[in-house]
Chain A
Amino acid sequence: AQKITQTQPGMFVQEKEAVTLDCTYDTSDPSYGLFWYKQPSSGEMIFLIYQGSYDQQNATEGRYSLNFQKARKSANLVISASQLGDSAMYFCAMREENTGNQFYFGTGTSLTVIP
């Protein structure tokens, strides 16, 4: 089974609007971490935000916030006040405690910010 599922291959958002990128995950490990990465056209992977499975509050980092719904196994990324520079691929990833340091990546969502 897929560990990480991103169902939106492509998304468009108007500049200055908010956008939600979906991510669901599958694990039986009670301890895990969820990550979002941004990959611009240059190819580098940029770490954005992290949510631990035991964290009580949703993670926030500037304009990025993670809508963590543990019972539904979802970890959606919310980008507020979108900027043109936010246009990129976005990958959701998970690390399970039991498998050590291996990361599982989703297939990604291509976000385009429209001026």
Chain B
Amino acid sequence: SAVISQKPSRDICQRGTSLTIQCQVDSQVTMMFWYRQQPGQSLTLIATANQGSEATYESGFVIDKFPISRPNLTFSTLTVSNMSPEDSSIYLCSASITGLAGNEQFFGPGTRLTVL
């Protein structure tokens, strides 16, 4: 298994500002993922972050809005840029690790973002 931490755990931000969320894994992992979970909804994959290459974004998400860094095998950041109230969500970081269940995904505790 893996222990994943995220900072901040929650934040309240003003419209038009940006927030960077940090994700730290306690072991080296090849693939990390960023998800968004809007209130009362399921998880939506924003992007896959591989170390040493550009993040791969899912349909509906763009790098200018959600820039991602992956400087090493244990760390990633997601920035939510030029925020609007529609960006209010839980943002979850996850890491794919090979375990008994094949490629399992472990999740961080999430960052609750409220945009006013």
Contact = CB atoms under 8 A, between A and B. Distances in A.
Contacts of A107: 41-42
Interface string A74-108: 00000000000000000101010000111101111
Given A43-B109, A43-B110, A44-B109, A91 B102 contact: no
Interface string B14-48: 00000000000000000101000000011101001
Interface string B82-116: 00000000101010100011111111111010000
Contact of A105 (B31, B42, B106): B42
Contact of B106 (A42, A47, A93, A102): A47
Given A33-B101, A101-B103, A106 B42 contact: yes
Interface residues of B, number: 23
Contact residues of B: prevailing secondary structure: strand
A52 B90 contact: no
B9 to A, nearest CB: 9
A44 B92 CA distance: 8
Nearest to B108: A44
A68 interface: no
Q: Provide the main secondary structure of the chain A interface.
A: strand
Interface in A24-51: 33, 35, 37, 42-47, 50
A105 B108 CA distance: 16
Contact of B105 (A52, A101, A106, A108): A101
Nearest to A45: B107
Contact of A42 (B31, B42, B109): B109
Contacts of B96: 101
Interface of A: 33, 35, 37, 42-47, 50, 52, 91, 93, 95, 100-103, 105-108
The 5 closest A-B pairs by CB, nearest first: A50-B101, A45-B107, A43-B110, A101-B96, A44-B109
20 contacts: A35-B105, A42-B109, A43-B92, A43-B110, A43-B112, A44-B108, A44-B110, A45-B92, A45-B94, A45-B107, A45-B110, A47-B104, A47-B106, A52-B102, A95-B105, A101-B103, A103-B105, A105-B42, A106-B42, A107-B42
